[in-house]
Chain A
Amino acid sequence: MIDFFLGHYSYWLTTLLLCIGLYGILFKRHLLKKMIGLSILQTSIIIFYVSIASKGGDATVPVKAAHLPVDNPDLYINPLPHTLMLTAIVVGVATLGVAFSLLMAIWNRYQTLDEQELLDKTQND
């Protein structure tokens, strides 16, 4: 049982992060805090990908070095998830940018970022 938890500790931590992110998105009333939750959620998925790339044992980062023979894939971790996550990070940055510009537009129009107050104020429009 202990092995089951300790052996998968990175997945447990990712799940915890994912839940923290979802909690922020669902229960925080301030829109900026929702954004923080969203960012945590995306980060947890990035960490998930990075941890599935791991092979355990002697595998290390795929950088060419004298003591690492190129013909033995067991010595390298899987580089593909890392490259995929580079793209995902860029997507996340773009999402943050769009979200912050939307928040600025909301602030300029309603002078508040509180969800409940916004609901009350948008009711009349």
Chain B
Amino acid sequence: MIESHLPVYIPFTFLAFSLVIPLLAIWKDDWSQPVATAGAGGAALLSLYGVLTHAGSEPLRYYFGGWPPPVGIEFVYDGLSAFMLAVVNIVTFLVLIHSRKIRLAEFASKQMAFYSVVMLMMLGFNGMILTGDLFNMFVFLEIASLSGYALIAIGGKPAPVAAFRYLIIGTVGGSLYLLGVGFLYNVTGTLNMKDVADMLPLIAAERSLVTALILMAVGIGIKSALFPMHGWLPDSYTHASSTSSALIAPIGTKVAAYVLIRILLFTFGLEQINAVVPLTTILGLLACAGILYGSIMAIAQFELKRMLAYSSVAQIGYIILGFSLGSVLGLIGALLHVLNHAVMKACLFMVAANLRLQEGHSDIRRMDDSYRLKYPGTMAAFTLAALSMIGLPPLAGFFSKWYLALAVIEKSNWLFLVVLLVSSLLNAVYFFRILEKVYLKNPKIQETGAPPITPRQEPPASMLWPTLILGVMLLALGLGNVPIVNFLEGAAP
């Protein structure tokens, strides 16, 4: 019973909870956060169950209303989407636990609306991951984006301006995607991804297909902040409230990148694409430019959240780079990086939130060695995540870069290898700058002979523990990467 309906249960948990929260709030406004967390926890458990039971088995296809495609809409629950759902929902669950105290500090009222919109956004992301229909994808994309704009607008004073800019750019992206789907529908007469994939080799209308392909790639590229379409991202992440950025940064752009993988790899097929237009080469080069640009811009930032935002631009480049290689190894590297980066970025944004709650700012210039004594747990999690971002073994970040590097070497693409190595060094620059301030410099000991006694000021347990769990998860994911890679190898086509 639960097996065959699993693909619907997971997204609709979020839909149900987004409706339950406002109703409950009439009675008890304070329950929004626990109820939302429970909903995300339920969805996370279901998707974890799905990954464990469906590993390697046939894809589960759920037909809405019993109408088989191409007439009806279908959800496709295969290894890839099961994996993505588990990543997204588990990270969301932890971020929502973490959100209780920081939300109270940043904006005390309107928690019902906030959590309800969070649930709606997660419905959008889950739907984007699952759907097997191109137009349905547009609808879920817009659900996720519209809730995302609202969530980003809650935050600092300039947050609505950043959200508005994101809205303009994001809606243009969505519209271009829709236009691309229109071109594709015009020549294939179907909207089902699998049906389109079966139909494409039979179609001669090359110009329409190229137009459709480029419009869709640009549309999704805007949503995934692929360089040079990343302009909306740094301001949005910086000014949004801590919970919003901890939710959207690890998940939003990753889901869009996954949609790009689905459309380019599974619907169009890389061979067919490369026969008409060198899209993968272009994507690979853009990804490289994004990796270098994001890393260099991150070095120039003095605000922790802004630095992490630019680093996100760079990290999305790794994912695009991985799958644009078109090999199984590259795809594994890209997907492993989706998982690792989601955990790392969530952890880092949580650290920024913890510091903001306790210090009132997250300015790198004002960090010093007292942080090590005041926040031993938070800074330990930060260190784990930072080392993982740089790619030190045995942390998770090393393994995704390892597979990406293997894939690049397999294709003998030395430019990409140089970019991977240089960007790791650049990552090291902007993270060691903070680690050095917190752990190495100690002028006070030299002056007085003994360190001054600084009381611990760790944030509340509901914020500290999710941060630490994510940090330790990075270690676990790194050490236990073999079963994950095996799973992904089975999921790759």
Interfacial residues, chain A to chain B (CB-CB below 8 A): 22, 25, 31, 34-35, 38, 41-42, 45, 48-49, 52, 81, 84, 87-88, 91, 94-95, 98-99, 102-103, 105-106, 109-110, 118, 122, 125
| Beta-carbon contact of B164 and A95 below 8 Å | no
Query: What CA separation (Å) do A88 and B178 show in the bound complex?
Result: 9
Given known contacts A52-B186, A88-B178, A102 and B142 CB-to-CB distance under 8 angstroms:
no
| Beta-carbon contact of A102 and B149 below 8 Å | yes
| Beta-carbon contact of B163 and A84 below 8 Å | no
Given known contacts A25-B168, A125-B157, A94 and B135 CB-to-CB distance under 8 angstroms:
no
Can you list, as one digit per residue, whether each of B133-154 has a CB less than 8 Å from chain A (1) or not (0)?
0010011001000100110010
Query: What CA separation (Å) do A41 and B215 show in the bound complex?
Result: 14
Query: What CA separation (Å) do A41 and B157 show in the bound complex?
Result: 30
Query: What CA separation (Å) do A78 and B350 show in the bound complex?
Result: 51
Instruction: Give B235 Cβ to nearest chain A Cβ, in Å.
Output: 8
Tell me which of A38, A91, A125 contacts B158 (CB under 8 A). Answer: A125
Interfacial residues, chain B to chain A (CB-CB below 8 A): 135, 138-139, 142, 146, 149-150, 153, 156-158, 160-161, 163-164, 167-168, 171-172, 174-175, 178-179, 182, 185-186
B161: chain A residues at CB < 8 Å are 106, 110, 118, 122
Query: What CA separation (Å) do A118 and B160 show in the bound complex?
Result: 11
Instruction: Give A29 Cβ to nearest chain B Cβ, in Å.
Output: 13
- Count of A-B contacts judged by CB separation below 8 Å: 69
Instruction: Give A53 Cβ to nearest chain B Cβ, in Å.
Output: 10
Instruction: Give B159 Cβ to nearest chain A Cβ, in Å.
Output: 8
Instruction: Give A39 Cβ to nearest chain B Cβ, in Å.
Output: 10
| Beta-carbon contact of A52 and B182 below 8 Å | yes
| Beta-carbon contact of A122 and B158 below 8 Å | yes
| Beta-carbon contact of A102 and B182 below 8 Å | no
Given known contacts A122-B158, A125-B157, A102 and B164 CB-to-CB distance under 8 angstroms:
yes
B186: chain A residues at CB < 8 Å are 52
A52: chain B residues at CB < 8 Å are 182, 185-186
| Beta-carbon contact of B179 and A109 below 8 Å | no
A125: chain B residues at CB < 8 Å are 156-158
| Beta-carbon contact of B178 and A34 below 8 Å | no
Query: What CA separation (Å) do A98 and B171 show in the bound complex?
Result: 11
Query: What CA separation (Å) do A98 and B117 show in the bound complex?
Result: 12
Tell me which of B135, B164, B179 contacts A45 (CB under 8 A). Answer: B179
B139: chain A residues at CB < 8 Å are 87, 91
A102: chain B residues at CB < 8 Å are 149, 153, 160, 163-164, 167
| Beta-carbon contact of A45 and B172 below 8 Å | no
Given known contacts A25-B168, A106-B164, A48 and B142 CB-to-CB distance under 8 angstroms:
no
A91: chain B residues at CB < 8 Å are 138-139, 142, 146, 174
Instruction: Give A123 Cβ to nearest chain B Cβ, in Å.
Output: 9
Given known contacts A49-B182, A98-B146, A84 and B160 CB-to-CB distance under 8 angstroms:
no
Tell me which of A38, A81, A105 contacts B168 (CB under 8 A). Answer: A38
| Beta-carbon contact of A98 and B149 below 8 Å | yes
